[in-house]
Amino acid sequence: MSAVVGPEKISARGSAGLRAGEAALGLSIAAFLLVFVMWPAASVVYVAFTEKGTGAFTLVNFHDFARTDLFVRSLWNSLYVGAMTVLWACVIALPLAVLTTRFEFRGALLIQTLGFVPLIMPPFVGAVALQMLFGRNGTINLLLSDWLDVKIPFMEGLNGVIFVESLHYFPFILINLSASLRNIDRSMEEAAQNLGSSGFRLLRRIVLPLAMPGFAAGASLVFVKVFDDLATPLLLNVKDMLAPQAYLRVTSIGVADPMGYVIAVVLVALSVGCMALAALVTRGADFATAQRGGGGLARRKMRRLETVMAYALVTFILLLVLSPHIGLLLLSFATIWSFSPLPDAYTTAHYARVFSQSALYVKNTILYASLGGLIDIVVGTAIAWLVLRTKLPFRHWLDRGATAALAIPGVVLGIGYLRAFYDVRLPGGVPLATLWIMIVLAVAVRRLPYALRASYAALQQISTSLEEAAENLGATPGRALRRIVLPLMTGGILAGFVTSFATAAVELSATLLLVQSNSDAPLAYGIYVFMQSPAGRGAGAALGVIAVVIVCACALGAQFAIERSQTVKGDPH
Amino acid sequence: MLRLAIAAALALACGAPAFAQAPAGKVTIVTSFAKDVTDPYKKAFEKAFPGVSLEVQNRNTNAAVKFIEETRSANATDLMWASAPDAFEVLKAKGLLMKYQLKITGLPEKVGSYPINDPTGAYFGFAASGYGMMWNERYARANKLPEPKEWSDLAQPVFFDHVAIAAPSRSGTTHLTIETILQGEGWDKGWRAIKEIGGNLRQVTDRSFDVPEQVNSGQVGVGIVIDFFAFSSQAAGFPVKFVYPSVTTIVPANIGIVANPPNRAGAEAFVEFLLSPTGQEVLLEPSIRRLPVNPATYAKAPADYPNPFKDARFAKMISFSAEKSETRNDAVDTLFDQTITFQLAGLKAATKAIHEATAALAKKDNAQARALLAEARDAIAATPVTEAQAASAEVRGAFTGAKEKTARQAELEQRWAGFAKQQYATALSKAEAALKLAR
Amino acid sequence: MSARANPPAAPGRAVDIEIAGVNLSYGGNHILKGVDLRVEPGELFAFLGPSGCGKTTLLRLIAGFNAADTGVVKIAGKDIGQLPPWKRDVGMVFQSYALWPHMSVRRNVAFGLEERRLPRRDIARRTEAALELVGLSAFGDRKPSQLSGGQQQRVALARTIAVEPKVLLLDEPLSNLDAKMRVEVRHELRSLQQRLGITTIFVTHDQEEANAICDRIAVMNEGIVQQVGAPMDIYAHPANLFVARFLGAANIVSGKMIARGGERAFDIGEGVLLPVPKDKIIAEGAKFVFRPQDALLGAGADGDIAIPALIRGCAFLGSILRYRLKMGAADIFVDAPFHAGHKPLAAGEVAVLYLPVNAGRWLAG
């Protein structure tokens, strides 16, 4: 070993020109975040700091927050649910990630893709489907009470929230953990085996710690997402959590109550804090796979019994996490499904009903979600690069600013966009806020943290010496980024894109306010429209199924690309 | 600044030429109504006025109000079309609705005892709906629930944990129902009745539509819903039944022209169309099933179609004071949320104990237990504020933000919630003591 | 730019490197302390020192990856301190090789040429020439992960020399190779460097490597250049105890300078005194240093200092026998050539050690 005293730490390479370029990039991202996240959000949330009636600045609302039992209880409940969900999401994600990346496992690609599907939960219909399966009088409980005269309260109270959120959000951990596991140099594992470590101890002591950046990225996303999710608690009729409290207050008609915005501020602050904590945990954990061009973990063959057990486990987990979608599928073909384990009869009429209209929704959805995803990976990668590879002052604030978007409730952002951009007129007097591109920006901003975390983890795992070698051979940092770093980040960037794309495709809360006409409406809006009447339930479910299938197809395509880039990078065998 | 803008908008609205031009082009309508309602109207309207297209933007009521509010500077919406009268009141108060003098004549002033139109001409009722109880037959059979007939039936022990209602703070029509009960029964008796039902609640949903959805899915037994939700559920084939209680409430569904509409002629044409015999007949479609405000239309209705102008149940509806409702609007919503919605666990625990003690007493009477039980019921029924206080300037100031410093809303909420929690705990211990005595 | 990659650039084009007064700190750690060095044109120059001595930091400073707090780095008389890495025209081979896993060997080698925007034909030609130079012409289409360690090392080298840099920097280039390969490759490196005539700095912690192929060596420790010179000079005349110890085996004997009747002597304990030449200036606290092969056991030449020593043991190292002895209070080693049939001295015997007058040196820390 030679004497490198933290090469990247004392690396201050540099001309003024480079730093100017970095500064320009940093400033333009800062401007983007200011204009499309901070300003719209602030234009709504500033109410939290004003006195009702007079509008004078005050902090008394935060004092009230701390003194109101309901809010304090909600805060603790949210923290508890967030932490427990992370735990259970790990229990679900870990076996899938390890089995598919460390073992020769037929259908690993399929599992990686299916394991991602739970993130794509169409609004409203997804909730109904879950109720039909796991609710008090859902399929499972009806069968259980028939056979055994017991009911399991899957969907009752905080534990119900934890159950549903774990099923819904574990893919964040799965995706990021898998990406990390793939990037670990096999020599690390081999070294441990050589020193007598194997099996579970090897996993626990070497492999998982090395996968920590990806795990932390995923776990912090899960925590923050659960923390900010309002759909699930509302579905389960749990109101004493922070996000539903904020939502209920912000969206009540004609109520000028600052407390909703106070909660929103608390949510943002805690979410950013959580992300900062995750960053702190992985700081100094420089797990870059430097040498020898990666190669990934060695995939081990399983013995027969192991294979059987592994498949049984994977099947069980997949059945569990995909049950909402199975329910959705049933719902979309059901004539009537009410208080019975399965629908009364099946029909394709719902599909026929939505078919004529869905083409437009599908087109809009793909357009918005892919543009949004694209914006996310560009901005996300740029932020990750600035934070990890430059000494730009305040660069961490870009990270935090982008992360804060995760915690801004969708309706707040939607109102903020109207407030901030409606009075910005284009030539011809058309308000800026009425353009469909604003929907794209809103979904992009809401999903930016996903892409950012994925890019961040990917970049963290690329050794700086690979870039230095390029610069040494005459490539400017920009060119080194394009020719060396970006190609090596492809897997992570694609993972970020898929996550952003898929979740943006079913985004509703912000779009509901920003959709200006039916011709601009995405699928989620179509589902909402159908789900407003009893007769529209099947049609809404059919549209939901269409949304899931399309997003899955796109995700599968991206997964293929990831796998291909991995084989290109990695091992020849 | 804001006030100036409102004044300007009003001036513009009033000063615009009063004669109507022939409608043409795109008419943009923001609505909370489902596709099942809007599609037939779109078809009928476009047929009646060739060359006019109806652009329907579906938003929930809250989003619709926020949208109109935020886009006022370059309003692109012609019409607001929704049920909840409070949403129209908010828009009206902010000067976001255009005053309009209806050309159509001969329509009644009231349906039941509820005035159909806004007296200032800011919005108009085009359909009525009655509140009632909707239940899932399969659920009722499995859980041996009797058919409910009156509101008070829902307070019976057999319905414990089987009832759903939308939060009045989230559903303007539910708010009307709660307010009707409070006005009809009086403040104290009204709250007692509401909390007795409240103790049996399975769910307080945050959207009106979630109640019929939960009943349709079989997740709850009985829902307190607007009639058309039940009718359209039946039309879709769900095994549900519906009944109007003998004292029902009538809630209107409204239309209003947004101030400064881009297509004023088209907007006016749609309002007139909605109230015309053709427009009223569309309401009879099975997927809509709302009650027309034109009594003549009922001639074309199916045999079992309820007619509020003739049906005795609707006539019985107590007289409703809109002013009274207005003065305590926020207080009633917040009281409901703080003492029922967010305290449901405590309320249900106490109610369950009361049900058990009542059952035990029925088998073996005990005067002392009976007294305790009455105290427990009183503890639940108690309200943290009197009727007069709820409408007082102090309480109203807390919600609107008065100039003079009063208690802040958050403080009031905390006080009321604390009160309810305390009362429910008392009720629980008394009911448990009663049960012990009765055994 | 000349389009010629092979045969190499004429030695006349080789440039010198001058490092003057360089200080570098990071976070309170003073990593380089007043480094002054001059590397002659065409020279193969080694930075030699233990882990943490600052040699790699200094190398990265020349490449532009670190910035000095004070001091200048000049190449061919031109201060390059303000140039970013990609404008320095300084080729570096990384310890990890830093081959890009997503590119084929050929694409790796062509990278620098592409960045210089050369015509496509020249790029192809020079890439092939560089690959041929390192004997990897047949491997151009492989991915780096499909090569052995030695091959990867050669790709890294080819990638660097393909751009014909003014200066070549090698950061522990042999450390990832096995011992046999290391010896082989270091001679290949040397001959390649001589053919190219390129000024080259070679960072290593292995003195044998540095001695074997380098023209001159800078021995570094704790951020300070301890001594600069040709390998043999440094070996023979270490400037201080650190250098003596770091280069080859050395006996370091502690003692006390005493005056004895007008003459000085070095008391190494247990009554053994070493005579000290009259004119020698010896620093306070200096120690007596000599190489194991400098002393003779049994029979010496006239004028040698004769010291009695107790044999403690003997190790057979092939061509030599290395004796462990006790001389005064010090434990020392002495080498004797081994001949077949020779019977080593047994442990416990007292032998006489003959030390030529000029073989030993008194060195301070």
Q: Is some CB atom of chain C closer than 8 A to the CB atom of A10?
A: yes
Per the CB < 8 Å rule, is B169 touching A252? Answer: yes
Per cent of chain A over pLDDT 90 is 10
Per the CB < 8 Å rule, is B71 touching A422? Answer: yes
Q: Is some CB atom of chain A closer than 8 A to the CB atom of B399?
A: yes
Is A29-288+301-569 a CATH 1.10.3720.10 domain? yes
Confidence of residue A255 (pLDDT cuts 50, 70, 90): low
Which segment of A189-198, B104-113, B419-428 scores lowest on mean pLDDT?
Answer: A189-198
What is the architecture of the domain spanning B2-128+251-315? 3-Layer(aba) Sandwich (3.40)
Nearest CA in chain A to C173: A2
Largest CA distance in chain C: 83
Per the CB < 8 Å rule, is B138 touching A339? Answer: yes
Q: Residue B86 is nearest to which of A253, A340, A422, comparing CB atoms?
A: A253
Q: Is some CB atom of chain B closer than 8 A to the CB atom of A427?
A: no
Residue where the block lists tokens 């992300």 = A275
Portion 205-224 of C in contact with A at CB < 8 A: 205
**Mean pLDDT of all residues in B203-229:** 90
Nearest CA in chain C to A18: C84
User: How many CB atoms are located within 10 Å of the residue C299 CB?
Assistant: 8
Q: Residue A293 is nearest to which of C54, C143, C203, comparing CB atoms?
A: C143
Per the CB < 8 Å rule, is A13 touching C84? Answer: yes
pTM of the model: 0.77
* C284 in a structural domain: yes
Q: What is the ipTM of this complex?
A: 0.82
For A429-468, write each residue's pLDDT tens digit.
778 877 888 889 998 998 898 888 888 878 887 888 888 8
Q: What is the pLDDT of residue A425?
A: 81
Q: What is the pLDDT of residue B17?
A: 39
Q: What is the pLDDT of residue B162?
A: 94
Asked whether the predicted pLDDT for residue B138 surpasses 70, the reply is: yes
Q: Is some CB atom of chain A closer than 8 A to the CB atom of C316?
A: no
Q: Is some CB atom of chain A closer than 8 A to the CB atom of B86?
A: yes
Q: Enumerate the residues of chain A whose CB falls inside 8 A of the CB of residue B71.
A: 418, 422, 431, 433
Per cent of chain C over pLDDT 90 is 32
Per the CB < 8 Å rule, is A64 touching B408? Answer: yes
What CATH number does the domain containing C346 carry? 2.40.50.140
Asked whether the predicted pLDDT for residue A215 surpasses 70, the reply is: yes
Q: Is some CB atom of chain A closer than 8 A to the CB atom of C98?
A: yes
Confidence of residue A285 (pLDDT cuts 50, 70, 90): low
Confidence of residue A18 (pLDDT cuts 50, 70, 90): low
**Full DSSP string of C152-205:** HHHHHHHHHHTT--SEEEEESTTTTS-HHHHHHHHHHHHHHHHHHT-EEEEEES
Per the CB < 8 Å rule, is C26 touching A9? Answer: yes
Q: Enumerate the residues of chain A whose CB falls inside 8 A of the CB of residue B414.
A: 64, 67-70
Distance CA C289, CA C266 (A): 12
* C6 in a structural domain: no
Residue B359 vs residues A130, B156, B157, B429: alpha-carbon distances, Å? 36, 11, 9, 17
* C2 in a structural domain: no
C207 membership: H or E segment, kind and range: helix C207-213
Confidence of residue B154 (pLDDT cuts 50, 70, 90): very high
CATH of B139-215+323-438, one of 3.40.190, 1.10.10, 3.30.1490, 3.30.70: 3.40.190
Per the CB < 8 Å rule, is C49 touching A479? Answer: no
**Mean pLDDT of all residues in C55-69:** 89
Last residue of a domain, one of C193, C226, C243: C243
Asked whether the predicted pLDDT for residue C9 surpasses 60, the reply is: no
Which segment of A537-551, B108-122, B222-236 scores lowest on mean pLDDT?
Answer: B108-122
Per the CB < 8 Å rule, is A237 touching B400? Answer: no
Instruction: Give the tokens for residue C246.
Output: 């770091």
Per the CB < 8 Å rule, is B410 touching A259? Answer: yes
Q: Enumerate the residues of chain B whose CB falls inside 8 A of the CB of residue A69.
A: 414, 417-418, 421
* Residue B104, min C-alpha distance to chain A (Å): 30
Q: What is the pLDDT of residue C19?
A: 94
Q: Is some CB atom of chain B closer than 8 A to the CB atom of A127?
A: no
Considering only residues B86 and B233, tell me which one the structure prediction assigns the higher pLDDT.
Answer: B233
For A434-444, write each residue's pLDDT tens digit.
788 888 999 89
Asked whether the beta carbons of C91 and C113 are under 8 A apart, the reply is no
For A63-77, write each residue's pLDDT tens digit.
888 888 889 999 999
Distance CA A369, CA A373 (A): 6
Asked whether the predicted pLDDT for residue A537 surpasses 80, the reply is: yes
Based on the fold, state whether residues C110 and C236 are members of the same structural domain. Answer: yes
Confidence of residue A293 (pLDDT cuts 50, 70, 90): very low
3-state secondary structure (DSSP) of residue B108? coil
Q: Residue A338 is nearest to which of B62, B238, B402, comparing CB atoms?
A: B238
For B280-336, write each residue's pLDDT tens digit.
999 988 878 888 999 989 998 888 788 888 877 776 665 677 778 878 888 999 999
Dihedral sign, Cα of residue B276, residue B279, residue B283, residue B286? positive
Based on the fold, state whether residues C219 and C107 are members of the same structural domain. Answer: yes
Left if phi > 0, otherwise alpha if psi is -120 to 50, otherwise beta: which for A373?
alpha
**Mean pLDDT of all residues in A17-44:** 86
B376 membership: H or E segment, kind and range: helix B367-381
Q: Enumerate the residues of chain C whose CB falls inside 8 A of the CB of residue A1.
A: 51, 175, 205
Q: Which chains sit next to B, with 3 or more Cβ pairs under 8 A?
A: A
Confidence of residue B7 (pLDDT cuts 50, 70, 90): very low
Confidence of residue B271 (pLDDT cuts 50, 70, 90): very high
Q: Is some CB atom of chain A closer than 8 A to the CB atom of C117?
A: no
Based on the fold, state whether residues C285 and C220 are members of the same structural domain. Answer: no
Chains B and C touch, contact meaning at least 3 pairs of CB atoms under 8 angstroms apart:
no
Distance CA C222, CA A34 (A): 48
Q: Residue B36 is nearest to which of A132, A518, A533, comparing CB atoms?
A: A533
* C4 in a structural domain: no
Confidence of residue C257 (pLDDT cuts 50, 70, 90): confident
Based on the fold, state whether residues C31 and C71 are members of the same structural domain. Answer: yes
What's the whole-number average pLDDT of chain C?
Answer: 86
Q: Enumerate the residues of chain C whose CB falls inside 8 A of the CB of residue A465.
A: 94-96, 98
Chains A and B touch, contact meaning at least 3 pairs of CB atoms under 8 angstroms apart:
yes
**Mean pLDDT of all residues in B214-218:** 91
Q: What is the pLDDT of residue B430?
A: 93
Q: Enumerate the residues of chain A whose CB falls inside 8 A of the CB of residue B174.
A: none
Asked whether the predicted pLDDT for residue C10 surpasses 50, the reply is: no
Please provide residue C15's backbone torsions phi and psi, each rounded to the nearest 5 degrees: -115, 165
Based on the fold, state whether residues C73 and C111 are members of the same structural domain. Answer: yes
Considering only residues B199 and A184, tell me which one the structure prediction assigns the higher pLDDT.
Answer: B199
Q: Which domain holds residue C128?
A: 11-243
Sheet holding C287-290, edge to edge: C251-253, C287-290, C361-363
Q: What is the pLDDT of residue C339?
A: 82
Last residue of a domain, one of C190, C210, C243: C243
Q: What are the extents of the domains in chain A?
A: 29-288+301-569
What's the whole-number average pLDDT of chain A?
Answer: 81
Based on the fold, state whether residues C170 and C77 are members of the same structural domain. Answer: yes
Asked whether the predicted pLDDT for residue C180 surpasses 60, the reply is: yes
Nearest CA in chain A to B85: A253
Q: Residue A468 is nearest to which of C31, C98, C145, comparing CB atoms?
A: C98
Q: Residue A253 is nearest to which of B87, B142, B216, comparing CB atoms?
A: B87
* Residue A241, min C-alpha distance to chain B (Å): 11
Q: Please report how the helices C149-161 and C179-196 are oriented relative to each other, as an axis angle in degrees rounded to 10.
A: 10
Per the CB < 8 Å rule, is C87 touching A474? Answer: yes
Best residue of A72, A74, A237 to probe chain B, by most B CBs closer than 10 Å: A237
**Mean pLDDT of all residues in B371-400:** 90
Q: Residue A13 is nearest to which of C64, C159, C205, comparing CB atoms?
A: C64
Considering only residues A398 and B403, tell me which one the structure prediction assigns the higher pLDDT.
Answer: A398
CA-nearest of C146, C112, C103 to C130 is C112
Collect all residues with Cβ–Cβ distance below 8 Å to A267 and sequence separation of at least 6: A227, A228, A242, A243, A246, A407, A409
* Residue B366, min C-alpha distance to chain A (Å): 35
Collect all residues with Cβ–Cβ distance below 8 Å to A37 and sequence separation of at least 6: A401, A402, A404, A405, A408, A445
Collect all residues with Cβ–Cβ distance below 8 Å to A32 and sequence separation of at least 6: A379
Based on the fold, state whether residues C202 and C263 are members of the same structural domain. Answer: no
Q: Is some CB atom of chain A closer than 8 A to the CB atom of C97?
A: yes
3-state secondary structure (DSSP) of residue B126? strand
Q: Residue B76 is nearest to which of A240, A434, A532, comparing CB atoms?
A: A434
Q: Enumerate the residues of chain A whose CB falls inside 8 A of the CB of residue C205.
A: 1-2
Q: What are the extents of the domains in chain B?
A: 2-128+251-315, 139-215+323-438
Q: Residue A68 is nearest to which of B93, B333, B410, comparing CB atoms?
A: B410
* C352 in a structural domain: yes
Q: Enumerate the residues of chain C whose CB falls inside 8 A of the CB of residue A290.
A: 96, 98
